[in-house]
Structure 1
Amino acid sequence: MQPDTAAVTKRFNDAFQRHDPTPIADLVADDCVLEKTSPAPDGARFEGREACVAFWQQIAADRSVSFELEDTIITGERAIVLWRLRFGADGESSVRGVNLTHVRDGKIVESLGYVKGS
């Protein structure tokens, strides 16, 4: 039995919370598509497991930033993850955003990131 959307999303988010990029590779589908939050207006696009895993593992390992989960909403194969990214000296700077994630057969197949603008 494949892990459900909630379980995959939790494992993925936990990797960022713990700064442990190791679990990410097991959670990403071969045909994954990732659109990051920048540059505006559309964000950079990564296609394929290798590109998506490399991008996410780099962020997860970066101890100069931290993600605070604000809420996670699961509906079927979709997850809506609201977060705050803290950065800078002592994390005094931050930006809020959301990831729209699609999980199929226990793997992330799409993740679209958006941030609040000024």
Structure 2
Amino acid sequence: MTQELIIDIATAKRSAETAEIMRRYNDVFQSHDPSALDELVADGCVIENTTPAPDGARRTGKAACVELWSAIATAPGTHFDLEETYVAGDRATIRWRFWMSDGNSLRGVNLMRVVDGRIVEAMGYVKG
């Protein structure tokens, strides 16, 4: 087996694992059930949130990340439309539209990174 083929197989396997983590992560927001977050988020996870503008707030550590995502997932009257999830190796890009309880919406993207089956980084950006 050539070195190039071995790398491609390893990348494909990592991409499949990342895709499954992203599917489960997205399900949290689609079902409004954050119970899976504890096993999806790494202890050293870092989030760069979309608010407050212009640079967002930084959350560090599993507890802070799970708390933020749980609040978003369970916010009354809100929902996400998933537009696309693209995975390459240990990285994923999620394009979404977030509908607020007042009927207004935001479009945005999350840049995610997964290591050892857990989310270690999430950077969120919204269309201004």
Q: TM-score, normalised to structure 2's length? A: 0.85
Return 5+ residue gaps in structure 2 as ranges. Answer: 1-13
For residue 97 of structure 1, the aligned residue among 108, 115, 120 is: 108
67-76 or 37-46: bigger deviation: 37-46
User: Where in structure 1 do 4 or more consecutive aligned residues deviate above 6 Å?
Assistant: none
Q: How many Å apart are 1:72 and its aligned residue?
A: 0.4
Q: CA deviation at 1:63?
A: 2.8
Q: Distance in 2 between the 1:103 and 1:64 partners?
A: 30
1:107 paired to 2:118? yes
Query: 1:63, 1:28 → 2: CA distance?
Result: 23
- Per the alignment, residue 56 of structure 2 pairs with 43
Q: CA deviation at 1:65?
A: 1.0
Taking only the aligned residue pairs, the percentage that are identical comes to 51
Alpha carbons 1:20, 1:61 under 8 Å: kept:
yes
How many Å separate the matches in 2 of 1:47 and 1:109? 10
Larger fraction in helix? 2
Return the index of the structure with the highest Cα Rg: 2
Is the CA contact (8 Å cut-off) linking 1:19 and 1:63 kept in structure 2?
Answer: no
Give TM-score, length-normalised by structure 1: 0.92
Structure number with higher strand proportion: 1
Question: In the alignment, which residue of structure 2 is the partner of 1:73?
Answer: 86
Q: Which moved more, 1:37-46 or 1:75-84?
A: 37-46
How many residue pairs match? The answer is: 114
In the TM superposition, residue 58 of structure 1 has moved relative to its aligned partner by 1.2
Q: Which amino acid aligns with 1:98?
A: V
Q: Which runs of 5+ in 1 are unaligned?
A: none
